[in-house]
Amino acid sequence: MSVGQTAAVTLEHATVQVGGRPIWTDLSFTMAPGEFVAIMGPNGAGKTTLLRVLLGLQRLHTGTAWVAGQPPRPGNPAIGYVPQHRGFDPDLAVRARDLVAWGLDGHRWGIALRRGATAHRVDEMLDLVGAGAYADAPVGQLSGGEQQRVRVAQALIGNPDLLLCDEPLHSLDLHYQQRIVELIADWNRRRGATVLFVTHDINPVLTEVNRVLLLAGARWTAGRPAEVLTSETLTRLYGTPVDVLQHRGRVVILGADLGSHAALPDYAPVPE
């Protein structure tokens, strides 16, 4: 990060506890504007909790957090958010285009765009994520993958400076996983915007990320993929033997059953 540049995200000695149990402790982590960082870790490691802290929805037990030099606050229009997938009520009559349009409502931009301009932007974004064919369908009747594409469109339509993604590829087939990753990565490069991307599978985003933040057992570590996806680092972090082998420019994770711990790839490239 250049001298005088305000960090996109800053956490200093941050600790979160739930019911007296530490989720993660003494987390000090800074993201420069334009970085693309993947977050990995077991279920319950605090990946979603970290996003909630930055959204102003979760208070720290100790330490401090900033978003673009300001304390986190709910409804920050500079943040786009793709929540973890949960299905809509099948009887919900709201159309896909209506859900996306909410990303352009007055609470984000101060004033609402006129109807024609909003409709045009909504159509463009729905087409970008491959959801144009069901723009007028009730979201409750869409498949999980279709709903997830609509959520991504809603998060991006306001051109946020910071995009927080909580398992955005969940329920998507491989084709649309690639399409969504390419869309977010292109947005990241063209706008110089910042991406914090929670994932159980590093494969789809590994060639795009600058760093990986690993959370496990109230501990954490961060660094370039080639630095943190190693036998020593993963064994220490997960507290169980893990072997990482390099083969033809790819990494193979072997050893104890990680199960839902991070669903680390069995076979994935590691960029230097």
| Per-residue confidence band for 242, with pLDDT thresholds at 50, 70 and 90 | confident
- Return the SS3 of 40: strand
pLDDT digits (tens, 9 = 90+) for 54-95: 999 999 999 999 999 999 999 898 999 998 877 788 888 889
pLDDT value, residue 252:
67
pLDDT at 194 > cutoff 90: yes
pLDDT digits (tens, 9 = 90+) for 107-138: 444 444 556 778 889 999 999 888 999 999 99
pLDDT digits (tens, 9 = 90+) for 149-177: 899 999 999 889 999 999 998 878 888 88
- CA-to-CA distance for 98 and 228, rounded, in angstroms? 41
Q: Tell me which of 87-96, 184-193, 205-214 is least confident.
A: 87-96
Instruction: Tell me which DSSP letter residue 135 carries.
Output: T
- Closest by CA position to 50, among listed 15, 88, 79, 90: 15
Q: What domains can you pick out in the chain, each with its CATH number?
A: 1-78+160-225 (3.40.50.300), 89-159 (no CATH)
pLDDT digits (tens, 9 = 90+) for 11-37: 999 999 988 889 999 999 999 999 999
